[in-house]
């Protein structure tokens, strides 16, 4: 699936690995080494066989490697060692080694179909169709893994540019059960580009035949993400990773999904968990970068073993940078393959831009943005365009950019999933309309915190804090900036630093609410309650949340009447599902089950909490039909919840017992 794997970003590791394979001249046949103890060799051979039978290939290969000279001699015993070497290499999927073995000893591969399939796949991954046809000829009309060879033959047809013929082949036959998954996946990718429904049909069929195939779950995830079903896509990416927990590429794929959707904390947690050996050099670079610009990881980079790979020198360079430093050009000139990384690693682009902005070299930063080699594949198109607009406004007093400075692709319609998407949206609307920039925004864009605002709005908290310089945000700036800096300080530094900064700023309801939440997190709920109560009466979103948080504190203190009064005095909350849920919870805690039941019934269609309460009540009352209906609705709300699945199983068993007893 050569062309397809490039589209979906899978099998890149195999491609990179096999592309470096070099053919080694075949050795001349020599006599068996007379210095080898035949008795010890026989014992070692038996031990290696046992390791392979017990699925311990690494231990077997450690023994096999001792007999390299014997293998090169092509003696009868050497050929037996080669057979074991091939088997061990198959078990650990060492494709590079298998290709070398095949080019040394092609005839031996006539008896090793699994090894031949891996080598054939490697040749197709590197567009080496000539060698593919040679190894394929070893198995013509004698293959036992027909489905695997069939798919490779289809991939060869695709490499030859015969797409319609490849689709025809895929539709010409089917295979039983799991063996058919590869065919269905290829059809989904080839025919589903213009018709997502057709692609989903094929993938659904593949899932039915092998629900534990990580590739199927990955493709389903990519399709769901492409049509905007992000929560469902996330579940599919997670499922793929869980099915094959040792597959680092699936972990990396899930981390990339989190990064695309600004779920930086989840991405960093996942990446950090996979830094220990065996890891990937690309994963290390990615983790170092996102840790430096979003939230620093508590990780000792200097103490951990750095993975091998061509990015090893880049990793060492990034680790050597000071905590408050994004780039050091003098040091970078000593990085091996440094010029290549500037063209292939997007991390280097963003770090250079940030360092120029930190050094107040706006002209140089704009040049980097203007000639960005990664524009088409930008990790954050809205951020990139916003930086250009701000730089242009500071120089030319206009947010509108020349056509050549806009991305080749249209900007995503969805703005970043951060707390401040309206900042990017406002910049776009003002640029398109040509309207005058409002004064608060004008002061911000022309001031010292302009780029701080851009990076904080993107969710790149550490980058924003690195550019932050003013101890007091001017009153003529938009209110959200002081709030955003306080939030970033709390998240990346401490509650104390956040409070110290906020104490110097203009007081706003949103900032006061944030301080109250920081106080709650610090454990001083009485002090937080004093901060919340004045806000709780406001007819605003801030008042709504303040009242709800205050009611939760009173509920925890078992001061139920106070909690009820707070909710009742906040019109937005008392008339909302969240307020009704909280009132029902109070009634339940007070022992008034009649009132709790009445409130929950009134919001049953809108509230999973209500459905959960009513399902539990129906179960206790042995109203199995009602309990089942509510539980099935909850499973739609939370499809991955194992407790709900177990509850439904118990309810069905109770229903069956009831039916059986009624028969007698």
pLDDT in tens, 151-184: 999 999 999 999 999 999 999 999 999 999 999 9
150 in Cβ contact with 39 (< 8 Å): no
| pLDDT on residue 193 | 74
State the average pLDDT over residues 230-247.
92
Share of the chain above pLDDT 70, in %: 92
Please give the pLDDT value at position 421.
Answer: 64
- The end-to-end CA distance of the chain, in Å, is 60
Q: What is the residue-averaged pLDDT of the chain?
A: 90
Determine which of 110-119, 194-203, 328-337 has the lowest per-residue pLDDT on average. Answer: 194-203
Q: By percentage, how much of the chain surpasses pLDDT 90? A: 80
What is the per-residue pLDDT across 597-612, written as a single tens digit (0 to 9) for each?
A: 999 999 999 999 999 9
> Which has the closest alpha carbon to 170: 187, 148, 158?
187
Whole-Å CA distances, 491 to 30, 323, 460, 510, 554:
68, 17, 12, 17, 26
Higher per-residue confidence, 574 vs 642: 574
More reliable by pLDDT, 396 or 2: 396
Of 243-247, 409-413, 573-577, 622-626, minimum mean pLDDT range: 409-413
- Per residue in 372-385, pLDDT (tens digit) is 999 999 999 999 99
22-31, 532-541, 579-588: the lowest-pLDDT one: 22-31
Which residue reads 């280097």 in tokens? 348
Q: Provide the pLDDT confidence category of residue 557 given band limits of 50, 70 and 90.
A: very high
**How many helices (H) and strands (E) are present in the chain, helices listed first?**
40, 0
Closest CA to 514 of 441, 419, 450: 419
Mean pLDDT, residues 612-635 taken together: 94
Mention every residue, 6+ apart, whose C-beta is less than 8 A from residue 43. none
Cβ atoms within 10 A of the Cβ of 177, count? 9
Q: Is 262 left (phi over 0), alpha (psi -120 to 50) or beta?
A: left
Place of tokens 């069929």: 205
Identify the residue whose tokens are 């009820």. Answer: 564
Residue 97: partners with Cβ closer than 8 Å, 6 or more residues away: 85, 89
**For the chain, what is the radius of gyration of the CA atoms?**
31
Q: Please determine, for residue 415, whether its predicted confidence score (pLDDT) is greater than 90.
A: no
Judged against a pLDDT cut of 50, whether residue 299 lies above it is answered with: yes
- Beta carbons within 10 angstroms of residue 304's beta carbon: 14
HSE-up of residue 339 (Cα within 13 Å, Cβ side)? 0
Asked if pLDDT for residue 371 goes beyond 50, the answer is yes
What's the confidence (pLDDT) of residue 639? Answer: 76
pLDDT at residue 30, rounded to an integer: 36
> Closest Cα to residue 484, out of 64, 314, 508?
508
Averaged pLDDT for residues 111-131: 94
Question: What pLDDT is recorded for position 74?
Answer: 84
Distance, CA of 520 to CA of 18 (rounded, Å)? 55
Q: What are phi and psi of 160, to 5 degrees?
A: -85, 5
Q: Which of 285, 403, 271 is nearest to 345 (CA)?
A: 285
Q: Which two tokens stand for residue 233?
A: 């896509």
The domains of the chain, with CATH numbers, are 273-373 (no CATH), 374-608 (1.25.40), 609-664 (no CATH)
pLDDT at 155: 95
Rounded to the nearest angstrom, the gap between the alpha carbon of residue 456 and the centroid of all alpha carbons in its chain is 21
Looking at the predicted structure, is the pLDDT value of residue 238 above 90?
yes
Please state which of the ranges 30-39, 67-76, 331-340, 647-656 shows the lowest mean pLDDT.
Answer: 30-39
- C-beta of residue 10 within 8 angstroms of C-beta of residue 218: yes
Q: How confident is the model at residue 36 (pLDDT cuts 50, 70, 90)?
A: low
What confidence score (pLDDT) does residue 416 get? 57
Alpha helices in 475-568 (DSSP H): 479-492, 495-503, 509-521, 525-536, 541-556, 560-568
| Measured distance CA(10)–CA(8) in Å, rounded | 6
| Residue 580, H or E segment | helix 577-589
pLDDT of 138 higher than 60: yes
pLDDT tens figures, 426-456: 999 999 999 999 999 999 999 999 999 999 9
Give the residue from 334, 309, 339, 341 showing the smallest Cα distance to 320.
334
Mean pLDDT of 313-329: 96
Extract the tokens encoding 546.
Answer: 């303040």
pLDDT at position 412: 65
Residue closest to 259 by CA, chosen among 497, 552, 458:
458
DSSP secondary structure code for residue 299 in this structure: -
- Label residue 116 exposed, middle or buried (CB < 10 Å: 0-12, 13-18, 19+): buried
556-562: long-range contacts, CB 8 A cutoff, minimum separation 24: 556/525, 558/589, 560/586, 560/589, 560/590
Lowest mean pLDDT among 88-102, 258-272, 563-577: 88-102
C-alpha distance from residue 561 to each of 123, 408, 566, 597, 606 (Å) = 74, 60, 9, 19, 25
Q: Is the peptide bond before 278 cis (omega within 30 degrees of 0)?
A: yes
Confidence of residue 226 (pLDDT cuts 50, 70, 90): confident
pLDDT mean over 296-319: 94
Categorize the per-residue pLDDT at 26 as very low, low, confident or very high, splitting at 50, 70 and 90: very low
Task: Say what the pTM is.
Answer: 0.80
Count CB atoms within 10 A of the CB of residue 535: 21
Contacts for 402-407: CB closer than 8 Å, 24+ residues apart: 405/370, 407/375, 407/376, 407/378, 407/381
pLDDT at 417: 59
CA distance 577 to 474: 39
Tokens of 53: 């039978």
Kindly give the residue spans of alpha helices, DSSP state H, lying in 321-415: 329-332, 338-344, 346-358, 362-370, 381-396
- 401 — pLDDT class (breaks 50, 70, 90): very high
Estimate to the nearest angstrom the gap between the alpha carbon of 457 and the chain centroid: 21
What gap in Å lies between CA 584 and CA 592, rounded to an integer? 9
**92 pLDDT higher than 60:** yes
* Band of residue 20 on the pLDDT scale cut at 50, 70, 90: very low
Mean predicted confidence (pLDDT) in 601-628: 95
pLDDT at 419: 62
Q: How would you label 269-303 residue by residue, b for 16+ Cβ within 10 Å and e otherwise?
A: ebbeebbeeebbbbbbbbbbbbbbbbbebeeebee
Neighbours of 164 (CB within 10 A): 9
CA distance 158 to 166: 6
Residue 553: how many CB atoms within 10 A of its CB?
19
Q: Summarize pLDDT for 530-549 with one digit per residue, the tens.
A: 999 999 999 999 999 999 99
């Amino acid at each position: 699936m050569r062309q397809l794997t490039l589209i979906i970003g899978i099998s890149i590791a195999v491609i990179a690995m096999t592309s470096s394979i070099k053919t080694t001249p075949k050795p001349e046949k020599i006599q068996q080494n007379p210095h080898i103890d035949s008795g010890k060799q026989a014992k070692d051979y038996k031990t290696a066989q046992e390791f392979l039978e017990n699925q311990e290939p690494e231990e077997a290969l450690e023994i096999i490697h001792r007999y390299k000279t014997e293998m090169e001699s092509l003696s009868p015993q050497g050929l037996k060692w080669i057979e074991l070497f091939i088997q061990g290499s198959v078990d650990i999927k060492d494709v590079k080694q298998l290709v070398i073995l095949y080019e040394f000893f092609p005839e031996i591969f006539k008896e090793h179909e699994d090894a031949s399939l891996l080598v054939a796949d490697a040749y197709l991954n590197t567009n080496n169709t000539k060698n593919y046809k040679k190894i394929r000829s070893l198995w013509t009309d004698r293959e036992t893994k027909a489905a695997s060879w069939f798919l490779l033959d289809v991939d060869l047809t695709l490499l030859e540019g015969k797409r319609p013929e490849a689709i025809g082949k895929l539709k010409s036959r089917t295979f039983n059960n799991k063996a058919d998954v590869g065919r269905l996946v290829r059809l989904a990718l080839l025919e589903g580009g213009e018709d997502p429904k057709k692609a989903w049909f094929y993938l659904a069929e593949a899932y039915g035949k092998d629900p534990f195939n990580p590739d199927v779950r990955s493709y389903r995830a990519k399709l769901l993400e492409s049509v905007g079903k992000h929560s469902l896509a996330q579940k599919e990416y997670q499922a793929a990773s869980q099915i094959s927990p040792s597959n680092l590429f699936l972990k990396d794929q899930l981390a990339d999904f989190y990064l695309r959707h600004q779920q930086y904390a989840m991405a960093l947690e996942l990446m950090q968990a996979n830094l220990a050996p065996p890891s990937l050099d690309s994963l290390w670079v990615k983790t170092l970068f996102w840790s430096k610009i979003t939230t620093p990881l508590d990780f000792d980079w200097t103490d951990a073993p750095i993975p091998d790979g061509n990015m090893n020198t880049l990793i060492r360079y990034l680790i050597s940078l000071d905590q408050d430093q994004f780039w050091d050009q003098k040091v970078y000139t000593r990085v091996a393959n440094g010029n290549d990384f500037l063209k292939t690693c997007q991390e280097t682009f963003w770090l250079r831009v940030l360092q120029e902005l930190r050094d107040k070299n706006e002209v140089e930063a704009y040049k980097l943005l203007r000639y960005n080699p990664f524009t088409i594949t930008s990790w954050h198109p809205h951020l990139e365009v916003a930086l250009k607009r701000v730089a242009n406004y500071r120089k030319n007093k206009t947010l509108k950019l020349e056509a050549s400075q806009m991305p080749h692709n249209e900007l995503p319609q969805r703005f970043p999933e951060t707390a401040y998407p309206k900042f990017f949206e406002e910049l776009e609307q003002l640029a398109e309309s040509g309207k005058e920039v409002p004064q608060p925004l004008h002061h911000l864009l022309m001031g010292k915190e302009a780029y701080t605002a851009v990076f904080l709005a993107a969710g790149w908290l550490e980058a924003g804090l690195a550019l932050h310089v003013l101890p007091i945000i001017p009153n003529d700036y938009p209110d959200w900036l002081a709030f955003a800096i306080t939030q970033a300080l709390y998240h990346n530094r401490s509650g104390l630093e956040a409070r110290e900064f906020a104490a110097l700023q203009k007081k706003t309801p949103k900032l006061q609410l944030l301080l109250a939440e920081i106080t709650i997190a610090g454990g001083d709920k009485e002090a937080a309650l004093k901060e919340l109560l004045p806000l709780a009466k406001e007819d605003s979103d801030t008042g709504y949340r303040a009242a709800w948080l205050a009611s939760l504190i009173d509920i925890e203190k078992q001061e139920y009447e106070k909690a009820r009064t707070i909710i009742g005095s906040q019109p937005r909350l008392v008339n909302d599902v969240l307020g009704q849920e909280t009132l029902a919870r109070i009634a339940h805690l007070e022992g008034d089950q009649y009132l709790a039941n009445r409130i929950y019934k009134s919001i049953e269609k809108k509230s999973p909490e209500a459905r959960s309460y009513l399902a539990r009540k129906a179960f206790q009352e042995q109203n199995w039909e009602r309990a089942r209906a509510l539980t099935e609705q909850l499973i739609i709300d939370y499809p991955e919840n194992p407790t709900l699945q177990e509850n439904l199983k118990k309810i069905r068993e109770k229903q069956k017992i009831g039916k059986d007893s009624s028969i007698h």
